[in-house]
Amino acid sequence: MTADSKKEKIAEIKDEILKRVRPTAEEKTKLESVRKGIIDDIVRIAQEQGQCDIIPLSVGSAERSTWLHGNHDIDVFISYPEDIPFDEFHGRSHKILMEMAKTGDTWEDRHSEHPYIHITKEGFEVDLVPCFRVKSGAEIKSAVDRTPFHCAYIKENIRGLEEDVLILKQFMKGVGVYGSEVRTGGFSGYLTEILTIHYGGFENVLTRAADWKCGVVIDLANHQTLEHDHPLVVVDPTDPKRNVSAALSLTKFALFIDRARSFMKNPSPDYFTPKEYPPMSSEEFEKMMAKRGTEMIGISFQTPPKAEDTLYPQLFRMEKSLEELLERNEFTIVNTFSWSEEGEKSIVFIELLDAELPPLQKRAGPPVWNESNAETFCKKYKNNPNTFSFAIENERYVAEVPRKYKTAEYLIEDLIFKEAALGRHIRDSMKTGYDVLREKEIMEIKSESFWKFMNEKLTAQIEP
Amino acid sequence: MTADSKKEKIAEIKDEILKRVRPTAEEKTKLESVRKGIIDDIVRIAQEQGQCDIIPLSVGSAERSTWLHGNHDIDVFISYPEDIPFDEFHGRSHKILMEMAKTGDTWEDRHSEHPYIHITKEGFEVDLVPCFRVKSGAEIKSAVDRTPFHCAYIKENIRGLEEDVLILKQFMKGVGVYGSEVRTGGFSGYLTEILTIHYGGFENVLTRAADWKCGVVIDLANHQTLEHDHPLVVVDPTDPKRNVSAALSLTKFALFIDRARSFMKNPSPDYFTPKEYPPMSSEEFEKMMAKRGTEMIGISFQTPPKAEDTLYPQLFRMEKSLEELLERNEFTIVNTFSWSEEGEKSIVFIELLDAELPPLQKRAGPPVWNESNAETFCKKYKNNPNTFSFAIENERYVAEVPRKYKTAEYLIEDLIFKEAALGRHIRDSMKTGYDVLREKEIMEIKSESFWKFMNEKLTAQIEP
């Protein structure tokens, strides 16, 4: 493909994708009307309650004209003067939110550290978030106070590149790197917008990303402030201390580089559609495991009643910790991954080369000249009737002893509370009960989303 | 035990051991007479051949009064002026050696780089070694020229400590660290004598050795010359560039420390008798392997017709190389060891946690940003119908592929000539044929020395 024909091809693809992702006129009108209704409600309720110093702010991708067709999210912030105390802030915002809840078709309290509610209205998903009206993104009083500055920055700088943001977002969705939740560890909407502005458009982002290496620094406002230990550092133009891509995992960073490079070599519309993994049947799973010849163990417990962004770091830490614990005991790990369903089970999976080890274990002790440790080691194993052999190899004592943990299952059952790093919420849940699942028990799981997930984990392919 | 009663106990033990290891008066007379006869023969033959510039030198432990009861070794060197050419040296020494050969009950040519012969005479094992009469141990022309200087140094400095050397040698034999052949990697006679002189007696050597750490330097003549990368450095008082304990392995160094410390805590005559491992029966071997649950593989070939000191480094290197090769392919090694019988088989053993691995292997590829390697890796595994999955983990491509080497046996057969580091003599021997033995075939080995060796390897104990 010549450079020119490739350019043309990409232009064609962009057109084609835009047709799919650009919101329709009807969609825009609808959203505009719902959003206006919400802001009017807030103003009305605030006046009724005598809260005349609040200002409602529309801050979502709709406000920046970078929302994708079919995305029905509306974000409205309710800003308070920055000098009011937290107590007053909480009390007053609670009063407004409780009235606003009544205006929705449904609503739920979603606050964790920060108060906010989620309502649905005429098919839209609306987040209503109180915040402080601080002077700049660097002087925030609560984590959400930065968002209005982000919104303003993008609105001011995005001009003319709105559609490139749409294309880039859809590309990221298609290749599986979009979304900054912990579970995904991908690119946030704001990060996508910043990249588009910085490099000047969709193709430029991809061309440059194809050459990224770990440690890229992007600093639009030329803040040149803090060092960050992340694969990609994008200094927030509204807050010099913040890395916009702090939540981006190394895996998603690398995957984006691969996909960008691959697309720029062979542009195709296929990159814009996320790969779907159909649910595998338990018989397919059984056959696949026989073909792999590995052993799959799952540790299953009731999903703690926490948001995914709280739960997933704990699941990831548990995977890592079990991997280390098993490897210290000579098991060889192939993969670990976690599946979780709200209100149902969470399962941490460990795939092993072999779940059973021979009765003999060779233990290396301290060097001969570490006298006090040597004494302890010798006392334990030397002249012990169970010891197979006791010798010196290089500078160390070495004992061949009966293995305590011959199966991974027994090791997990015996050590999980004693030696694994369990997050507080997972530990609490497991204390009420947990199961160690082997192939047979895994086959009995009924959830369709589980079997999609398992198919993806066992047959993942980077395509095209 | 109080310090005094311990001192007394050690004195008693020394007395007891000395009774066993001190040569008898009869033995001394006999040795003296045989040695005198040999020297007389050399002088006579040299005169008959007109070689009037040679001087025979008695250099063995007998000469230094540090020989153990029952040891029937006599070492006599035939020294030549240092300025004669090698050709002449070889020609003339050959003439004397051939005549001396006739004086023995049996004889054999044992020269490798250096000419010498071994004869037996009246029950004595006699080495006859020509050398150059150089000015000092630092100016040698051939490796053996140093020996007369060693002998002279010990004779001059050992006075009064001869019996301590006997005790220390017997202690080292008893705990299995005596002998400087490559196969043993232990303490030589000269090293034992030097240590006795330096520390001033048997108990002092043991007391000080109990506190040794890797990197001890002993420099009697205060040469302070070269750096050596050995656990123990004993600068040769007759040659500042040489480390007398260069052949000492880390294992034997550490074992001596352990045994010295243990003896000084609880003195006992038991330390002076080498542990004997009776031959195990093949049924006992079968039972023991079932109990261990590990897998034993032996690679068997005809022993190359080489001296042990040439063969053993090659065997050790082969063990190490096979261990690395198998570990690179995810097998877990428990032990490796080698057995060899002159004129018969040599066998390199590998004991594994498991000799069979599952069909699936996970392969980590290059980082995404290593573009040319990434391309090669992707070409090989991506969209390959045999590939289980192809993904990115952290910065790397990762493919799950069918494992090529599912059994250690097949790996060895396929790769031993291609990827293992085989010494020249072993390679030559294996090219004429070799076998990979599993438990059944190992059980068929008939040699008694083999079954002693195997018993020792599987049940080694440091005692008391």
Per-position pLDDT tens, chain B of length 464: 788 999 999 999 999 999 999 999 999 999 999 999 999 999 999 999 999 999 999 998 888 889 999 889 999 999 999 999 999 999 999 999 999 999 999 999 988 778 999 999 999 999 999 999 999 988 999 889 999 999 999 999 998 999 999 999 999 999 999 999 999 999 999 999 999 999 999 999 999 999 999 999 999 988 877 778 899 999 999 999 899 999 999 999 999 999 999 999 999 999 999 999 999 999 999 999 999 999 999 999 999 999 899 999 999 999 999 999 999 999 999 999 999 999 999 999 999 999 999 999 999 999 999 999 999 999 999 999 999 999 999 999 999 999 999 999 999 999 999 999 999 999 999 999 999 999 999 999 999 999 999 999 999 999 88
> Per-residue pLDDT for A118 more than 90?
yes
| pLDDT at residue A228 in the model | 80
Half-sphere CA count of A387, side-chain side, radius 13 A: 20
All residues at 6 or more sequence positions from A236 whose CB lies less than 8 Å from its CB, including other chains: A137, A146, A150, A242, A243, A244
Relative to beta strand A106-109, strand A117-121 is antiparallel
**Residues near B432 by Cβ (< 8 Å), separated by ≥ 6?**
B302
| Cβ under 8 Å to A: B residues 140-159 | none
* Residues of B in Cβ contact (< 8 Å) with A334: 360, 362, 400
Q: Is A75 annotated as a binding residue?
A: yes
Q: Is A388 on the interface with B (CB under 8 A)?
A: yes
Inform me whether the C-beta atom of residue B389 falls under 8 Å from chain A C-beta atoms: yes
Residues 6 or more apart in contact with residue B349 via CB below 8 angstroms: B296, B297, B298, B335, B336, B337, B338, B339, B457
Vertex A383: Cα angle to A379 and A386 (nearest 5): 105
pLDDT band at A3 (very low <50, low <70, confident <90, very high): confident
Whether residue A105 lies within 8 A of chain B, CB to CB, comes out as no
CATH architecture of A282-356+406-459: 2-Layer Sandwich (3.30)
In three state form, how does the secondary structure of B291-355 look? Answer: HHCCEEEEEEEECCCCCHHHHHHHHHHHHHHHHHHHHHCCCCEEEEEEEECCCCEEEEEEEECCC
> What is the rounded radius of gyration, in angstroms, for the C-alpha atoms of chain B?
27
Q: With an 8 Å Cβ cutoff, are A254 and B395 in contact?
A: yes
Q: Where are the beta strands (DSSP E) in B24-174?
A: 55-58, 73-81, 106-109, 117-121, 124-133
State the pLDDT at residue A13: 97
As a whole number of angstroms, the distance between CA A194 and CA A198 comes to 6
Q: How far is CA B454 from CA A75, A135, B118, B289, B450, in A?
A: 76, 81, 31, 11, 6
Beta bridge partners of B333: B352
Does A327 reach chain B within 8 Å, measured CB to CB?
A: no
What number is the average pLDDT over the span A357-361? Answer: 98
Which residues 230-269 in chain B show a CB within 8 A of chain A? 231, 250-251, 253-255, 257-258, 261
> Average pLDDT of chain A?
95
Rounded Cα distance between B185 and B166, Å, is 20
Is this complex's ipTM strictly greater than 0.90? yes
In one letter, which amino acid is B244? V
Question: Helix, strand or coil for residue A244?
Answer: coil
Q: Which two tokens stand for residue A323?
A: 């991997």
- What pLDDT does A307 receive? 87
* Element at B241 (helix H, strand E): strand B239-243
Q: Which CATH architecture has domain A26-137?
A: 2-Layer Sandwich (3.30)
**Residues A421-449 pLDDT 10s:** 999 999 999 999 999 999 999 999 999 99
Do residues A142 and A132 make contact, with C-beta atoms less than 8 angstroms apart? yes
CATH number of B158-274: 1.10.1410.30
Which residues of A fall within a CB distance of 8 Å from B319?
none
Q: What is the pLDDT of residue A449?
A: 95
Cβ distance B254 to A396 less than 8 Å, yes or no, reads: yes
Residues of chain A contacting B383 with CB distance shorter than 8 Å: 461
**Residue A63, pLDDT above cutoff 90:** no
Test B254 with A368 for CB contact under 8 angstroms. yes
**A7-33: per-residue pLDDT in tens?**
999 999 999 999 999 999 999 999 999
Helix (H) or strand (E) holding A338: strand A333-340
Q: Chain A window 335-364: which residues touch B at a Cβ cutoff of 8 Å? A: 335, 353-354, 357-360, 362
What residues of B are in contact with residue A354 (Cβ under 8 Å)? 354, 357-358
B393 and A CB contact within 8 Å: yes
Query: Where along chain A do its domains lie?
Result: 26-137, 158-272, 282-356+406-459, 360-402
Which secondary-structure segment (H or E) carries A169? helix A162-175
The answer to whether the A26-137 and A360-402 domains have the same CATH topology is no
Set of chain B residues whose Cβ sits within 8 Å of the Cβ of A292? 358-360, 388, 400
Which candidate from B332, B353, B388 shows the least CB-CB separation from A459?
B388
pLDDT of residue A62: 85
Please tell me the predicted confidence (pLDDT) of residue B323. Answer: 98
Tell me what pLDDT residue A65 has. Answer: 87
Q: Band the pLDDT of A50: cuts 50, 70, 90.
A: very high
| CATH T-level topology, domain B22-144 | Beta Polymerase; domain 2 (3.30.460)
> How confident is the model over A165-176, as a mean pLDDT?
97
Question: Can you tell me the distance from the alpha carbon of A158 to that of A66, in angstroms, rounded to the nearest whole number?
Answer: 9
Phi, psi of B420 (to 5 degrees): -85, 150
- The CA distance from A416 to A423, in Å, is 12
**For the domain A360-402, what is the CATH code?**
3.30.70
Beta pairing partners, B247: none
pLDDT (tens digit per residue) in A230-275: 999 999 999 998 999 999 999 999 999 999 999 999 999 999 999 9
Shortest Cα–Cα distance, B91 to chain A (Å): 45
Judged by DSSP in three states, B80 sits in strand
What is B6-24 written as a DSSP string? Answer: HHHHHHHHHHHHHHHHSPP
B147/B129 Cα distance (integer angstroms):
10
When CB atoms are compared, the residue of B255, B257, B292 closest to A388 is B292
CB contact under 8 A, A254 and B394: yes
B282-357+405-459: which CATH topology? Alpha-Beta Plaits (3.30.70)
Q: Do A251 and B353 touch (CB under 8 A)?
A: no
* CATH placement of domain A158-272: 1.10.1410.30
Q: Which two tokens stand for residue A458?
A: 């066992």
B358 vs A213, A293, A382: nearest CB: A293
| Chain A nearest C-alpha distance from B338 (Å) | 15
CA dihedral A165, A169, A171, A172 (to 10 degrees): 140
Q: Which of A213, A358, A396 faces B353 most closely, judged by CB atoms?
A: A358
